[in-house]
Chain A
């Protein structure tokens, strides 16, 4: 893979950062303030799209290295996996921005200026996480992401909400400090700590040290990815306004964590080293436990957004699972699940938010009759819910399918069982929502769809999900990116991992 030195990665990361100040300064003029957001979103998306052709041709745009620490520059590199995440986050940022405008206005929320500013900073940080070329850059963006999302989480500012925000910070910042330690350590072992397909730590230290390092790194990225038992903050963070939750789950925080786990397993340690150290199976088991526990927990949850939150906990462990298995197909499935889950979960959260904006209802048992009153919203919700359950023709199936085949390449039959049980549980906790909303008669005849600002984004995301489900290579060629990312890792994998493909 050839590198092209260009400023485009910096542009992609900097777009969001650059508008933070203008947004803060134009607080008195909402139209201008929101225009900044859209401009930055468009610039970021444009930068992402402009780097795609190179990725299709097997090259990568690399930013100039900014000297920062000995041997560890600040550098961004648009490799396939990073581009996949970047493109996803820019598309969904635009959708979320338009949704936010409608949501904040229709509910008349306060502190809108700070909201949009923090939003821009968070997305910029997520873009940085996506494109980080080495561990230090990753760490920096990761920490900024944590802090930028804090104001968003505690947006309501009641004492209960602040408590949840504290819990959020406790998990993510503690993990961040452990990550800092681990990054320093890794950087001492291998100067540069450059993300390398297939990992760079092999042979750098004794097995024991590498295992400790792995645990530190995993706690660092895993707590953001809400891997059990580090998931406690995620349901608590549901106190945030809905667009924030959508962002948290689909793009920024949790997704960045899952992305980090993929980077960790594929680009820091590498599948073969993980196998040698005996880390693959424990990690896979952890992911499996998370998937099941969170699904069961979602089953017993009546709060709409919290059920979605537990679903996220469960779904993101698919990505962790794929990273743990490490075969090409599993990695490709995991990488694609970043995209699939992004579109689907953002749809679901948008729908939950629309319901709240239109009716003020927050619990699933109160949704009766809303399906008829809000047909577009719940049509989109249906797409999201079915996609989450891995119903074919929706993108969730493609990731699940490849995860299953990838696991079988490594003769891990139990993963298939896990995936199907999880799919079952998904249906068991998603479809009752549809049943209640669409098929139970409602009592309130005045309910209507909220404004177009709130209807268009979920419909767009759902349609995009359908397109991706029918053709995962449509548009930005997410599947191609996922596959080439997985292939680059697999090129370094030992033979037993690549054999057995039909």
Chain B
């Protein structure tokens, strides 16, 4: 079984993406069940890999039996299985939420079974692309998966009609530019070293260290992936994309898309290219840009009056924090970055499912639309509150622990960059306090309408969110809490792998 899992993990979503529209066209009613089953199976595969990687060490899988450096290899260590688990898990929730339908905008095309099937297929394709990025050990293959996932994402973003098509087009522009830059970089690398396999690449890099083209390659790769990871100031595509994507897709895209790119950055810059001078400089720059992003994202989130747009800017802040961790590269920092990926993915997914649903049902995105929700739907709102508190970094939610690791890493790193990162993370927490509590206050303690003192309890209690959104919201909130409480085992799972991984690569370097 262990031998089959890696293949299943990548193949299942890709096959499923083709299968589900077919099922939708033929059987109609079973689309939902089929998609959910597929997602569950993918998740099970990810979980299996996660356990076996934890129990028996990293797994190397040669696609089609062709071993590296010529064949395409998949590589599952603690790091990649963790991200895979995250992607697959979020995809389950997103698939569940897809029942809600994309039609929040009146200009969106009417939902038909086939259309639903196609969208579900797109989600599966997206998942497949992302899992491919996570798993692959081949830099060109990575580009392929990057493009697969991007194309699927454009589809999902545009499915809302109206403004979302514009947003999708803009995303497409940025994404294509990013992909092209990355591809150029890979081209340079191949020209220099003659290999695309990461391990092979790492081994051969020292011999071409002196070549100026290497610097160009590193920068191209870094810039390309940074656009995808929304590193400030290359984040321009993000706010509109997150805001105008239909809710079920937004919950998924906002949660994992940028993070997988950040993971790729970590793999390439932090592991494969870490030994190069250019890589080190780029990582240092990345810390500073991360600091700027953390602050700018926070400030601009405070300035927003629309909840989803505020969440989008908060994501830019969070991505800055993750990239700070990637840039620092110490074991603590990597732990913090990974933990923040997980914490932020769970919490932001929860919030986008919730905020999107409320925006659709309350017919507006302003903070005032949240007024009075506390008395009508206390449990849903409690879940959203947990997620918001995690974003602020209040213990014992997951966000607290990721911030804790990142702060520790900043102090341990020391120097101007360390101090700046420390201050920026604290500041972003403060800003997050401001913009999240504004919403929570309205939701829990204010009453809707112009008379704030009116009796809010007269409105009948009932669910605000339909079940397809409420279940992911509550489930993710629970996960946020659990991740926080079981932070320590998590760290134990990831760190040794990372350390041995980097140690292995530096040992292979002559």
Chain A residues in contact with chain B, CB under 8 A? Answer: 24, 67-70, 110, 136, 139-140, 143-144, 147, 151, 154, 157-159, 162, 165-166, 169, 173-174, 176-178, 180-181, 184-185, 187-188
Instruction: Let me know if B52 is at the binding interface, CB within 8 A.
Output: no
Segment from B38-46, B275-283, B404-412 that makes contact with A: B404-412
Residue on B with the closest CB to A27? B378
CA distance A199 to B433 in the complex (A): 32
Contact of B433 among A139, A173, A184 (CB under 8 A): A173
Tally the A-B contacts, defined by beta carbons under 8 Å: 87
Please tell me if the beta carbons of A181 and B447 are within 8 angstroms of each other in the complex.
no
Q: Are A180 and B403 in contact (CB under 8 A)?
A: yes
In the complex where A140-B396, A143-B394, A157-B447 touch, is A181 in contact with B488 (Cβ < 8 A)? no
- Cβ of A177 and Cβ of B452 under 8 Å apart? no
A69 touches B404 (CB 8 A): yes
Q: Is A69 in contact with B445, judged by CB distance below 8 angstroms?
A: no
Given A180-B393, A180-B403, CB of A188 within 8 Å of CB of B429: no
B408 and A188 contacting across the interface, CB-CB below 8 Å: yes
With A158-B452, A177-B393, A184-B407 known, 7 other A-B pairs at CB within 8 A are A139-B395, A143-B394, A144-B395, A154-B441, A157-B446, A157-B453, A173-B392
Are the C-beta atoms of B433 and A177 separated by less than 8 Å? yes
Over the window 112-156 of chain B, the binary record of Cβ atoms lying under 8 Å from chain A Cβ atoms (1 yes, 0 no) is 000000000000000000000000000000000000000000000
Given contacts A177-B426, A184-B411, whether A154 and B487 have CB atoms under 8 Å apart is no
Name the residue in B392, B408, B412, B457 with the highest tally of chain A Cβ atoms < 10 Å from its Cβ: B408
Tell me if A169 and B433 are in contact (CB < 8 A). Answer: yes
For the complex formed, measure the closest distance between the CB of B371 and the CB atoms of chain A, giving whole angstroms.
11
Minimum CB distance partner of B441 in chain A: A162
Q: List 11 A-B contacts (CB under 8 A).
A: A69-B405, A70-B408, A70-B488, A143-B395, A144-B395, A147-B389, A157-B452, A158-B453, A165-B441, A180-B426, A185-B411
Known A-B contacts A157-B446, A166-B441; the reply to A177 vs B430 at CB < 8 A is: yes
Partner of A180, one of B429, B457, B487: B429
**Chain B residues near A67 (CB, 8 Å)?**
488-489
- Residues from chain A with Cβ under 8 Å of B408 in the complex: 70, 184, 187-188
Contact with B394, one of A147, A181, A184 (Cβ below 8 angstroms):
A147
Nearest CB of chain A from residue B455's CB, rounded to whole Å: 8
Q: For residue A176, which residues in chain B have a CB less than 8 angstroms away from its CB? A: 394
Count residues of B near A (Cβ-Cβ below 8 Å): 36
Nearest CB of chain B from residue A259's CB, rounded to whole Å: 18
Do residues B411 and A165 form an inter-chain contact, with CB atoms below 8 A?
Answer: no
Residues of A within 8 A of B61 (CB): none
Q: How far is the CA of A143 from the CA of B404 in the complex (A)?
A: 14
Q: Give Cα A188–Cα B411 distance, bound, in whole angstroms.
A: 7
Bound Cα distance from A185 to B422, whole angstroms:
10
Closest CB pairs A-B (n = 6): A140-B395, A67-B488, A184-B407, A177-B429, A188-B411, A157-B445
The interface residues of chain A lying within 8 Å CB-to-CB of B263 are none
Residues of chain A with a CB closer than 8 A to B244's CB: none
Bound-complex Cα distance A166 to B438 (A): 9
Residues of B within 8 A of A143 (CB): 394-395, 400
Please name all residues of chain B whose beta carbon is closer than 8 Å to the beta carbon of A162 when the two chains form the complex.
Answer: 441, 445-446, 452
* Chain B residue at minimum C-beta to C-beta distance from A69: B404
**Whole-angstrom distance between the Cβ of B492 and the nearest chain A Cβ:** 9
Does residue B75 face the partner (Cβ distance < 8 Å to A)?
A: no
Chain A residue at smallest Cβ distance from B487:
A68
**A-side contacts of B313, CB under 8 Å:** none
Residues of the B chain whose Cβ atoms lie less than 8 Å from the Cβ of A173: 392, 430, 433, 437
Instruction: Determine the chain A residues whose CB is within 8 A of the CB of B453 once the complex forms.
Output: 157-159
- Our pick among B389, B401, B452, B457 for the contact of A159 (Cβ within 8 Å) is B452
Interface residue? B199 (CB, 8 A)? no
Q: Which of the listed residues A68, A143, A184 has the most CB atoms from chain B within 10 Å of its own CB?
A: A184
Interface-centre pick from A144, A154, A169, A181 (highest chain B CB count, 10 A): A181
Supposing A165-B441, A180-B404 touch, asked if A69 and B394 sit within 8 A by C-beta, the answer is no
B476-510 toward A: CB 8 Å interface, digit per residue (1/0)?
00000000000111010000000000000000000
Shortest Cβ distance from B453 into A: residue? A158
State the Cβ distance, A357 to closest chain B Cβ, in Å: 21
Bound state CA distance, A178 and B393, in angstroms? 12
- Shortest Cβ distance from residue B420 to the other chain A in the assembled complex, whole angstroms: 13
B252 within 8 A of A: no
Closest to B375 in A: A111
Chain A residues within an 8 Å CB radius of B50 = none
